[in-house]
Structure 1
Amino acid sequence: MNRKLEKYNKLLLTLLGILCFFSIPSNAQAKESGISVQAMLPENQIIKDAGYYDLKVTPGQEQTLNFKVFNRSKQVETVNVSINPAYTSENGSFLYTQDASQKDESMEFSLSDIAQTDKVVSIPAESEVILPIKLSIPKDPFKGLILGAIRVTNADIDTEEKKNNQQEGFSINNKLAYSVAIQLREEENMPKSNLILKKVTASQIAGKNVVKAQLQNPTPTIIDDVCYESSVTKKNNDAVLHKQEVENYRVAPNTSYSFPISWDNQPFKAGEYSLHLKVKSIKNQEEWVFDQDFTISSEEAKQLNTSAVDLEKDYSIYIIYGSIVICVLLIILICLIKYFKKKKQTKKMEFKKKNHERKNDVKRNKKKSKPKSKPSC
């Protein structure tokens, strides 16, 4: 028996090895891409060994940056090029996939308005091209940072990213996206950063119930090494219902974003709640504390719970109804027991009474049937 089992295990391992042998090369080939990029750093680069542009500029300055795009494949490749401002994603990183149409109200200058380049570029096979990026710095001085990126993608990558909700640098059907940051500043000293809590709402991420704290960084500064400590309670109650703690997040300049607090796969319940949020930047040595009440309406709760996935079922109502039914049954049972007990006692009393009456009747009958004694002489 052991020998047969050993042979079966060897056969299974051999089949798995053959399967891995044929599957690994195909996956690796699907992830290969002939496109790569490189930032050619100019003289006014502040951090000399950076892989991105960090430039010291002056008001009204005109400058052309050189940006290399490589094609190592054996066919002509066509790429899309866009220059987008930096946004803050919900997972605490910089996002360069959106254009300036949704820029924050606090953003005075967008990189999209300052930097211009060709939107479509063809690179010959096994070759490279130098793409000019033309900068036109505003004549009015600005404080802090203007941050964005040059974004290079294969054809249709943006459409697929929106459908699949993918992040930068991940391959999608042999298509890659590259983002190289451009950071502009006129002064070394940065303004003091700030955070504002705008509102708190019930929402969802990938079908999961969450509460989102809508935050805004209205300052032209990067807030680095950010830690969040959050908890949700019922209004005017200290008992914590849900909490979320994360660290090593980043906040881009002049952006509004949301910080999600997981609802732990539980359904929303209508009511009034309070969010308690502490945000701390380890690097900037700054801290913000927020306490804000919010309401989840019955309509919101019903709509979000209907579309939510993997919800833990709430059995509390069934427990309540079950307890009521059990209590009613117990009361009925007790009443029945008392009723039958009383009925039994009544029958017993009646039986004793009848038995006593019968004995009395017997005695009376004996007295009546006893013959009278004759008078003595």
Structure 2
Amino acid sequence: MDMEDVCIMRKKRISVLLTLSFILAFFLLSAGSLNVKAATSGDYSLKVGGSNTDNLNIDNGNYFITGNAGQSVDLKLLVINSASNTRRFKFSVTTAFTDDNGALSYNKLKVSDPSLKIQTRGLASPKDAVFSVPGNKTATLTFSMKVPEQKFNGILMGGVTVAPYKEKAKGTVSNNGTLIKNKFSYSIPIQIRQSGNETVQPSYSIRTVKPGLTNTADGRKQGVQANIHNSTNSYAGTLSAHAVVTKKSDKSFKIVKDGSADIAPTTNYNMAIPWGKKTLQAGNYHLKVTYKTRGGLKSWVLNKDFTITNNDAAKYNKLAGVKPNYLWLYILLGILALAIILGLGIYLGKKNNKGNNNSDNSSRKRRR
């Protein structure tokens, strides 16, 4: 075997080893995921009944009450049963609050907030009732709301909520075989203003920021929960919400979340800020939240420093299913393996070349 043949064999061996190395690296770095969603319908609806009076305005499909202290105002509610069978429903008047999705909600019989002095539910008569509606028929309910006797500024908010009574939740099965049960309730907002009282402006603040799990389209992920508080009897409508988290020791770190919020009077809610693909890391951080009304005529900027500890970071990363990132290690091992393979190829090539040279020299000596 001459030198040219040896070089060709050595190049082929190295080429094969390189190809095998890249195939191995490809399989080490491959992964995938799947998401499932589902939805159904409740077969009934609500509508405001009656007409406008000196103390009631229903033009926007809500109940807007203005009255003197202690005055009662009658309200009418239409419940439309779209199903073919007679159904029973439960009627409740509740106090408005903002849920952790930033939406106005009316599904609590008692709302807790340090600034809440008057529960709207306590002004209703009756507060609760159970009634029947024949199939494909509409029932009209009448209830009253009392303007508080104690003086207050701003507005009070609540809602009338109707839900099927003692019906089994409808179930659907997702693609992965999970049974999802759905219960439906619908609400119509109620606002109460006392005649002659003053309008008050919202007073928003960030009470706390804590690490935790946040709901995302990909499941529950690591992030922080910022508790936002409105301490006054005020409602500014649907607001845009822009949240930015920065880290004091890392100028390149930034988490941004955009969304919207309907912040009820005297309420607090947890704004979830997911960390995305980043893992929670211990350190000192700053949160800036900007709320704006539609059209941007009014805005509020809130600021809060907070700290994430090593224990909290490890806890919520683990609960979110975050696995340590070994990509750097895979890359290092791949480079090391490639270097070893190349070194071995060069060594074997030189050894074969040396052996062939020795053979050629021996043959020449014998010929002499």
**TM over 0.5, shorter chain:** yes
User: Which TM-score applies when normalising by structure 1?
Assistant: 0.66
**Once the two structures are superposed, what CA deviation does each residue of 1:57-86 show, in whole Å capped at 9, x if it has no partner?**
210112332222233444321011111111
**Once the two structures are superposed, what CA deviation does each residue of 1:204-249 show, in whole Å capped at 9, x if it has no partner?**
1231222122110111111234233322222254323311233x53
**Once the two structures are superposed, what CA deviation does each residue of 1:342-366 show, in whole Å capped at 9, x if it has no partner?**
xxxxxxxxxxxxxxxxxxxxxxxxx
Aligned length: 290
For residue 107 of structure 2, give the secondary structure of its aligned residue in structure 1. Answer: coil
Larger radius of gyration: 1
Task: Please name the residue that 1:103 is paired with.
Answer: 112
Task: For 1:274 and 1:78, locate their aligned partners in 2 and report how far apart those are by CA, in whole Å.
Answer: 51
CA contact (8 A) 1:45 1:53 kept: no
Within a 5 Å distance, the mapping from 1:325-340 to structure 2 comes to none
User: Structure 2 residue aligned with 1:185, among 190, 193, 198?
Assistant: 193
The structural deviation recorded for 1:155 is 2.7
User: Structure 2 residue aligned with 1:120, among 130, 133, 140?
Assistant: 130
The structural deviation recorded for 1:252 is 1.1
User: Which TM-score applies when normalising by structure 2?
Assistant: 0.67
Q: Output the aligned Cα RMSD.
A: 3.5
Task: For 1:292 and 1:174, locate their aligned partners in 2 and report how far apart those are by CA, in whole Å.
Answer: 38
Distance of aligned partners of 1:262 and 1:32 in 2 relative to their CA distance in 1, 3 Å threshold: closer
More strand by share: 2
Task: Please name the residue that 1:200 is paired with.
Answer: 209
User: Structure 2 residue aligned with 1:261, among 260, 267, 273?
Assistant: 273
More helix by share: 1
Higher relative contact order (CA 8 A, sep 6+): 2
Distance of aligned partners of 1:242 and 1:173 in 2 relative to their CA distance in 1, 3 Å threshold: closer
Amino-acid identity (%): 24
Task: Please name the residue that 2:351 is paired with.
Answer: none
**Amino acid corresponding to residue 314 of structure 1 in structure 2:** N
Task: For 1:48 and 1:295, locate their aligned partners in 2 and report how far apart those are by CA, in whole Å.
Answer: 47
Task: Please name the residue that 1:229 is paired with.
Answer: 242
Distance of aligned partners of 1:133 and 1:264 in 2 relative to their CA distance in 1, 3 Å threshold: same
The structural deviation recorded for 1:152 is 0.3
**Amino acid corresponding to residue 143 of structure 1 in structure 2:** N
The structural deviation recorded for 1:181 is 1.0
User: Structure 1 residue aligned with 2:157, among 147, 153, 175?
Assistant: 147
The structural deviation recorded for 1:281 is 3.2
User: Structure 2 residue aligned with 1:62, among 55, 61, 72?
Assistant: 72
Task: Please name the residue that 1:280 is paired with.
Answer: 292
The structural deviation recorded for 1:37 is 4.1
User: Structure 1 residue aligned with 2:227, among 208, 211, 214?
Assistant: 214
- Unpaired stretches in structure 2, ≥5 consecutive residues: 1-37, 173-179, 344-368
- Unpaired stretches in structure 1, ≥5 consecutive residues: 1-26, 165-171, 334-377
Task: For 1:317 and 1:116, locate their aligned partners in 2 and report how far apart those are by CA, in whole Å.
Answer: 66
Task: Please name the residue that 1:31 is paired with.
Answer: 41
Task: For 1:194 and 1:122, locate their aligned partners in 2 and report how far apart those are by CA, in whole Å.
Answer: 43
Runs of at least 4 residues of structure 1 off by over 6 A?
none
1:318 paired to 2:326: no
CA contact (8 A) 2:169 2:182 kept: no
CA contact (8 A) 2:282 2:313 kept: yes
Task: For 2:242 and 2:41, locate their aligned partners in 1 and report how far apart those are by CA, in whole Å.
Answer: 38
Task: For 2:189 and 2:264, locate their aligned partners in 1 and report how far apart those are by CA, in whole Å.
Answer: 12
**Amino acid corresponding to residue 142 of structure 1 in structure 2:** F
Deviates more, 1:123-132 or 1:300-309: 123-132
Distance of aligned partners of 1:244 and 1:31 in 2 relative to their CA distance in 1, 3 Å threshold: closer
1:241 paired to 2:254: yes
**Amino acid corresponding to residue 148 of structure 1 in structure 2:** G
**Once the two structures are superposed, what CA deviation does each residue of 1:271-318 show, in whole Å capped at 9, x if it has no partner?**
222223333334684333333221222222222122215x47523673
Task: For 2:292 and 2:46, locate their aligned partners in 1 and report how far apart those are by CA, in whole Å.
Answer: 37
